[in-house]
């Protein structure tokens, strides 16, 4: 008689940057630790091309079951205002979706644990009612987790806006955070985005444990501080488990444009191509996109560039339309003649490209990135140095840390008061990474960190052991 596999549920929020690492965790629980996983998906009445492609992948293992929560009708909740920002929208939809969570968990036979997302901490209350241990999977760096855990104390201690503080913010065990690098949502404590973020981070102590998509050798000081510093013990901080880097391993090249990227890369010399993309939702202003194009042209370096329709200001203009390619003709948004002048040297792709397949290709030698944590980890795991170009959320903090603390990225210079990065500076930093001496140093450093990442995930590595510790708790609870 076959023994039933232990059953846990995984619940990300709707953002692609959260969905992907949660799915990779679910796969790892199934493939490496013998679990049956119910993967709970927040849905709305609005289609999501990228989400559908991800969840319909042939690489989903048999014991990972996709369970779509009842769709939220976004037309019936108060999201019509154009000023509603990304986090407020995500949190509002998530809160509405989780109204069904209790009945779904009961229908699933009450899994032995639930792993959920930072912006779905309402699930803690449901799990408490059902006596299900609830864990948080944080898809950001350990340093940012330390900041989030510290935020309620900071909020209590500081009367003025954090952005107006005269000195950098010192989170125990972390490099000082310059106020210019602060996450968007904490720059104004009066707005809904701050209230939502504060609500969720203040509930972190309710978790049975916090899983972090990082590893001990990458962030030794922040991880040690969260685990041992008296301030974090006083919060009290739940047990912390660094289990990363968990990145997307498999990618289906499902259309002609994706195949064209790889065919084009196959014809280029090793380490010669700069890949430019701003994640699943990032967009540039028209003026900045123009300068980036002209700077690329001046650099004379090979490139693949994912171009989206620009927005009024740089930010997350495509966040809720990830994966869509309709009505996006790059020729309309790029300088006149740019595509003709760079033909053969560069390849422009509309809206979306197979990022993992490109970063893992031997011809790719650099990555101009928005510094979302998933993208940063994918770049590190594949040994590709970065040009840090943060746009929103915690990306400025990531960019500084990747550049100054770990040394796997460089940042373009922007003078005080400037709104955009000019073409000459873009030319300089692209040449530096792709052919300069400083670029060689960064390239060497990222290769070292790549080896560290691989060791952490080995069967005798620190991250494998950390996740094994968690799953052993779950298996023990079954007895």
Rounded to whole angstroms, the Cα distance separating 165 from 188 reads: 13
Sheet holding 409-410, edge to edge: 346-350, 302-307, 273-277, 364-369, 386-388, 409-410
Catalytic position from the list 18, 22, 321, 370: 18
Contact 21/137 with Cβ under 8 angstroms? Answer: yes
Nearest to 207 by CA among 257, 136, 101: 136
- Give how far the C-alpha of residue 464 lies from the chain's centroid of Cα atoms, to the nearest Å: 21
Query: By three-state DSSP, how is residue 366 classified?
Result: strand
Query: By three-state DSSP, how is residue 361 classified?
Result: coil
Catalytic position from the list 22, 33, 117, 321: 117
Residue 200 catalytic?
A: no
- Alpha-carbon torsion angle 104, 105, 108, 109, nearest 10: -140
For the stretch 141-176, what's the b/e string if a residue is b when 16 or more beta carbons lie within 10 angstroms of its beta carbon? bbbbbbbbbbbbeeeeeeeeebeeeeeebebbbbbe
Nearest to 354 by CA among 249, 444, 236: 249
Q: Give the Cα-Cα-Cα angle 184, 181, 172 (nearest 5 degrees).
A: 105
Query: By three-state DSSP, how is residue 116 classified?
Result: strand
Distances (CA, A) of 285 to 280, 342, 434: 16, 21, 25
Q: Distance between terminal CA atoms of the chain?
A: 18
Q: With the C-alpha atoms ordered 428, 432, 433, 438, is the resulting torsion angle positive or negative? A: negative
Token pair of 316, please? 């997350």
Q: Give the Cα-Cα-Cα angle 73, 79, 84 (nearest 5 degrees).
A: 145
Contact 463/242 with Cβ under 8 angstroms? Answer: yes
Token pair of 337, please? 């003649």
Token pair of 46, please? 């609005």
Contact 220/252 with Cβ under 8 angstroms? Answer: no
322 CB-near residues (< 8 Å, 6+ apart): 16, 48, 49, 50, 51, 280, 281, 352
Q: Pairing between strand 64-68 and 240-242?
A: unpaired
DSSP β-bridge partners for residue 367: 275, 386
Token pair of 8, please? 């846990």
Residue 125 catalytic?
A: no
Residues annotated as catalytic are: 18, 117
């Amino acid at each position: 008689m076959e023994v039933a596999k232990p059953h846990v549920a995984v619940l990300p929020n709707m953002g692609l940057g959260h969905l992907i690492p949660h799915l990779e965790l679910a796969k790892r629980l199934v493939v490496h630790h013998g679990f049956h996983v119910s993967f709970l998906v927040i849905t709305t009445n609005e289609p999501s091309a990228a989400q559908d492609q991800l969840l319909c992948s042939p690489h989903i293992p048999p014991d990972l079951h996709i369970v779509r929560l009842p769709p939220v009708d976004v037309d019936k909740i108060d999201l019509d205002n154009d000023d509603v920002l990304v986090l407020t929208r995500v949190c509002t939809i998530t809160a509405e979706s989780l109204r069904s969570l209790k009945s779904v968990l009961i229908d699933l036979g009450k899994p032995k644990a639930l792993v959920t997302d930072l912006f779905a901490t309402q699930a803690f209350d449901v799990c408490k009612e059902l006596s299900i241990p609830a864990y948080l999977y944080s898809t950001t760096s350990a340093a940012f987790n330390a900041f989030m855990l510290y935020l309620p104390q900071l909020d209590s201690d500081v009367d003025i806006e954090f952005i107006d503080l005269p000195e950098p913010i010192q989170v125990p065990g972390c490099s000082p955070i310059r106020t210019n690098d602060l996450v968007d949502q904490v720059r104004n404590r009066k707005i809904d985005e701050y209230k939502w973020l504060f609500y969720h981070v203040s509930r972190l102590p309710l978790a049975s444990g916090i899983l972090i998509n990082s590893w001990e050798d990458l962030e030794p000081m922040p991880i040690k501080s969260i685990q041992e510093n008296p301030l974090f013990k006083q919060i009290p901080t739940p047990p912390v488990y660094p289990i990363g880097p968990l990145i997307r391993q498999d990618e289906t090249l499902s259309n002609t444009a994706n195949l064209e990227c790889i065919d084009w890369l196959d014809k280029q010399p090793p380490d010669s191509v700069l890949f430019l993309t701003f994640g699943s939702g990032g967009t540039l202003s028209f003026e900045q996109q123009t300068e980036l194009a002209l700077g690329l042209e001046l650099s004379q370096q090979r490139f693949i560039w994912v171009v989206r329709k620009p927005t009024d200001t740089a930010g997350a203009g495509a966040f809720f339309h990830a994966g869509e390619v309709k009505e996006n003709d790059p020729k309309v948004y790029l300088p006149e003649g740019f595509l003709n002048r760079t033909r053969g040297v560069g390849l422009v792709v509309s809206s979306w490209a197979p990022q993992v397949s490109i970063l893992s290709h031997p011809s790719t030698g650099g990555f101009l990135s928005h510094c979302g944590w998933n993208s940063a980890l994918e770049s590190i795991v594949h040994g590709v140095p970065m040009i840090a170009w943060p746009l929103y959320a915690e990306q400025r903090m990531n960019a500084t840390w990747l550049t100054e603390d770990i040394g796997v990225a460089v940042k373009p210079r922007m003078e005080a008061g400037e709104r955009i990065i000019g073409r000459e500076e873009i030319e300089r930093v692209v040449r530096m990474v792709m052919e300069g001496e400083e670029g060689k140093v960064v390239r060497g450093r990222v290769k070292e960190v790549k080896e560290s990442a691989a060791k952490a995930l080995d069967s005798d590595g620190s991250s494998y052991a950390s996740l094994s510790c968690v799953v052993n708790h779950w298996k023990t609870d079954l007895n």
